[in-house]
Amino acid sequence: MISVSDVIGPWDRSKDLTADRRKSIAALVTPVNALLALASAAGVPLPVNPVTKTQVSGTLYGGFRPQSCPIGAPQSAHKVGMAVDIYDPSNALDAWITDDVLRECGLYREGGRWTPGWTHLTTRRPGSGNRTFQP
């Protein structure tokens, strides 16, 4: 399970972490944790990232990203607090997730082909409307 603090990571004092973005992160954590609970109950391994010491992937940019982050556009889902990358080194979570699970949890994800070693989950509906989308 992840917390709001896990998604914020080291950016708690960033001027880019506005009240609206904090609310978006809080709204993201609940459905992500619902998905993680379903995955855990199904026996999917959910390891902790040894770098972040949470289930958030990466080293600095797996959760909220400040505007100075070189990854993503200024209004990317990560930069507005609507996306998190879950540590998934064996890609077991990505392999387990279906569009039905995403729909049940109110989430969308970037297709696993583009996310080796992590699972990108977001509350932002992509332009295609597909639960699993291609970047």
CB–CB of 29/4 below 8 Å? yes
Residue 89 located in a structural domain? yes
Residue 134 located in a structural domain? no
Residue 27 located in a structural domain? yes
Residue 135 located in a structural domain? no
The pLDDT, as a whole number, for residue 121 is: 98
pLDDT tens, position by position, 45-67: 999 999 999 999 999 999 999 99
State how many domains the chain has.
Answer: 1
Name the residue among 65, 72, 70, 109 with its Cα closest to residue 91: 109
CA–CA gap between residue 16 and residue 132 (Å, rounded): 28
Residue 64 located in a structural domain? yes
Residue 41 located in a structural domain? yes
Domain range enclosing 33: 4-125
Confidence of residue 135 (pLDDT cuts 50, 70, 90): confident
Residue 35 located in a structural domain? yes
Share of the chain above pLDDT 90, in %: 99
Residue 131 located in a structural domain? no
The CATH number linked to 14 is 3.30.1380
Name the residue among 82, 132, 56 with its Cα closest to residue 73: 82
